[in-house]
Amino acid sequence: MKTPITKAFLTRLPKSDLHLHLDGSLRLNTLIELARKVEMKLPSYTEEGLRELVFKQEYTSLEEYLRGFSYTLAVLQDPEALARVAFELACDNQAEGVRYIEVRLAPQLHAHGSFDTIEALRAVSDGLERAKRDFNAREEVRSGEEPPFDYGIISCSMRYFDEKSSPFHAGFLGAHRYSDLDRVFGLASLELVLASARARDEHGLPVVGVDLAGPEKGYPPIHHREAYLLAQRHFLRKTVHAGEAYGPESIYQAITELHAERIGHGTSLLNPAAVQDPDIADPVGYVADLARFIADRRITLEVCLTSNQQTNPSLRRLETHPFGEMMKLRLSICICTDNRTVSNTTVTDELYKAVTVFDLDLHYLKNLLVYGFKRSFFPGPYAEKRKYVRRCMDYFEKLEAEYLASTPEDDKPVPDSSLDEPGED
């Protein structure tokens, strides 16, 4: 069956991005300008050169993929730069129909001296709020014709860091030089949760949740259990990078030890061969049980197709990505970009890949977009969130009706009953 969903149509649809790293999503011309300002040497001072040398379409390794962050982080060390990049990121999303984003950053990587983690969060919020205010002042939004733009901020802690990671981490390691390193990593996460709760409760910043990122192997979630329990006591929502660079047991630990409500990536979830724990005697049964466990609890997987292709050699052919099996199992999935610049992608690009490679119809596409809004850590009350999601989906239905009216009869989508209502629970 010919799939009638075009990229132009996808661009117009109301979308979300729940896994979006600020330091991986700078405009290249802004990176160049900021690098000159701080006198940092770049491999190239043209967008084309940076695309060729640093931010590529394809990477040979995870290390090469991560190389670009050394440049982006270096220019994001003051409030003006953070606010500017956050503003531009929101504008770029608005331009392609994205109406809700959750921007995640590790504020401890930006903190130094008197510029602390809360001030880093404030700078990002200032930029995002400016973009929100400008967009929502448009007549189309004020009249109710189109849904407004909104956002949340997710504070990300690190499974591992060293003295070179940031001035904050260097000082933190120095202050705890006699402590076990695993304990120090957990204490840094605890510190971040406390700062995030204060940023929200005392400073009114829309910090909606916490995340844990960094190398999975050798740095299990349990070291951050105290921090995540504190996040829960402060009603901060919880997501965790897991199952990207380690086996399914990493996902299980994120859920059971940290009570994660969403999982970043989770590409090893359905792969018995990725199980590394020797105590798991039946890897096939283990992944089946884990998938059912996640499905029953509606734990959402933040799927980043392009990023996964670039960092995992086994997924270079997108057809091999577990997204297709995740759909068949009726798992809760949202499509995200991860890093718009480092992965050279947009939400529209990611959805277009999903639509074309996995042959999604409009029915499933709608439910996929619903998941993005419904599983968000929306900063307002639940009743307000429901109203917001309804506005976004009403707008989807309006655009859908217009699109179908202009589509030749032979090209109109045929509903796939095997994917019936995956996003309506």
| Residue positions annotated with a catalytic role | 244
| Cβ proximity of 372 and 366 under 8 Å | no
Contacts 24+ apart (CB under 8 A), 196-203: 196/117, 196/121, 196/155, 196/231, 196/234, 196/236, 197/230, 197/231, 197/234, 197/236, 198/118, 199/117, 199/118, 199/121, 199/122, 199/155, 200/236, 201/234, 203/118, 203/122
Burial 160-177 (b: 16+ CB within 10 A, else e): bbeeebbbbbeebbeeee
CA distance 126 to 44: 30
Alpha carbon distance 343, 165 (integer Å): 22
User: What CA–CA distance (Å, rounded) separates 403 from 66?
Assistant: 40
